[in-house]
Amino acid sequence: MKITPNKILYITLGLDNKWRKDCIYTDNTIRLGYIEVPHQLCLECKSKNEWSEVKEKLKKYDLFKKQITSHCNKIRYFYESGEDTLWINFFEGKLKG
């Protein structure tokens, strides 16, 4: 099957990619792994185009300010990207999409 994505983004499948094997071989799913950031909150932030509440939740992870912004951007890209986005990850020395 030929695909023509509009955007290609890298995704980390859980902290330190801990769910990478399950996501790729078992479930065929995507797991972000931000347990402190509820799905409903992300949907609300997307609709308002305002992600400061997500940044507040990320403070529970004891991250530096720059890291909080980076993680918030990962979550935002996930929620704002369309179906024409190809998500990729590296696993066992290969590029997986």
What digits encode the pLDDT tens for the residues 30-75? Answer: 888 787 899 999 999 999 999 999 999 998 877 788 889 998 999 9
Number of domains in the chain: 1
Global confidence as pTM: 0.80
Task: Tell whether 54 is covered by a domain.
Answer: yes
Residue 1 lies in a domain: no
Residue 16 lies in a domain: yes
Q: Assess if residue 2 is contained within a domain.
A: no
CA–CA dist 88, 54 (Å, integer): 24
CA 1 to chain CA centroid, Å, is: 25
Owning domain of residue 15: 7-89
Helix, coil or strand: residue 10: strand
- Percent pLDDT > 90 in the chain is 41
